Amino acid sequence: MSLTDLIGYLAAALTTCSFVPQALHTFRTRDVRGISLGMYSVFTVGIALWLVYGLALRAWPIVGANAITLALAGSILAMKLRYGRSEPPHDAS
């Protein structure tokens, strides 16, 4: 394995793992008030495109990281769509 591959795998592991705490918190509490629907929607589409890009290049660090991140971000987005509709409006004062 080259140093470039090692850096890619390490970057992929770190950025992917960064989503685990948010996903676990959301699964446990179903609290999605602090999650932006717009941001997670755009982010999830972006991750899907990175996955397609990685597949086209056969760049396995990109494929692996984005497949896992897509699953996590997609799950959080799905929970936002499911549980976010019943949120009371935020007090503007």
92 domain residue, yes or no: no
Give the domain CATH number at 68. Answer: 1.20.1280.290
Q: What is the DSSP string of 20-85?
A: HHHHHHHHHH---TTS-HHHHHHHHHHHHHHHHHHHHHT-HHHHHHHHHHHHHHHHHHHHHHHHGG
Confidence band (pLDDT; 50, 70, 90) for 91?
low
79 domain residue, yes or no: yes
Mean pLDDT along residues 20-42: 91
24 domain residue, yes or no: yes
pTM of the model: 0.79
pLDDT at 87 over 70: no
pLDDT tens string 3-14: 988 898 898 899
4 domain residue, yes or no: no
Q: What is the CA radius of gyration of the chain?
A: 16
Number of domains in the chain: 1
Mean pLDDT along residues 22-31: 90
Q: What is the residue range of 69's domain?
A: 9-85
